[in-house]
Amino acid sequence: MKTKIIILSILVMGMVAVGYASGYSQALGSPMRGGQPPIISSYFAPEQVRYGDPVRIYLAAEDPDGEMLRIAAVVSQLGYGDYTTDWTYLKPGDEKSFKGYLEWNTNSGTPILPENTRITLTISVFDRAGNESNEVVLPMLFVSSLVPNPPVPASFEQADNHMLGHVMINLRNPIKDTEGHHRDHVFLFPFRHR
């Protein structure tokens, strides 16, 4: 009889502990996330950019729960790699839906980029519970010649009045290291053996 009571007590304590852990986890917002993730419904950005010119990335997003918190921007540069994620926190009033633009000053890290530098800019939106929206992948090609601004789609004409924030990613020249010396054995002549 004592054995049955001990086993029953252990079972009850285990169930209480699991219930407490589940409630505690939900209160912290992880790993059990509630609600629905935000949705990026439309976007637009130029595919060719002159290095040094500001770039506008247009976004429209919505969240059924009205809890959008921040926008993640990740750059991956061919020949360099991935940069640290840049976060833009949304302004009050943008938690449920927004249509606006991020501005990126591309002349911010190095005096020059090699002609035809390719990057991909990946954008997503996170809500307060940590849910991530769909990702938008925007390829860009940096050139030195003047590039006419492509027309903004009609759906974003009013978005010019709503800046969401700045992308603060400083691009690097993969051909030069931080000391300004050429890394020709890595980037300029990749097939040469030393």
What pLDDT tens digit does each residue of the chain (194 aa) get?
Answer: 666 566 656 665 665 554 444 443 343 444 445 789 999 999 999 999 998 889 999 999 999 999 999 999 999 998 889 999 999 999 999 999 999 999 999 876 667 788 899 999 999 999 999 999 999 999 999 998 888 888 888 889 888 889 999 999 988 887 764 444 444 333 332 333 33
- pTM for this structure? 0.73
State residue 23's pLDDT score: 43
- Angle at alpha carbon of residue 123, lines to 89 and 138, rounded to 5°: 145
- Is domain 39-167 annotated with CATH 2.60.40.10? yes
CA nearest 130: which of 9, 38, 4, 8? 38
Q: 67 — alpha (psi -120 to 50), left (phi > 0) or beta?
A: alpha
CA nearest 188: which of 179, 153, 177, 166? 177
Tokens of 36: 């629905």
Distance CA 164, CA 155 (A): 17
Q: Which helix (H) or strand (E) holds 89?
A: strand 86-89
State residue 144's pLDDT score: 86
Distance CA 11, CA 125 (A): 42
Tokens of 147: 């590039």
Distance CA 131, CA 170 (A): 27
For residue 18, the one-letter residue type is V
48-50 and 136-143 beta bridge pairing: parallel
For residue 41, the one-letter residue type is S
68-77 and 86-89 beta bridge pairing: antiparallel
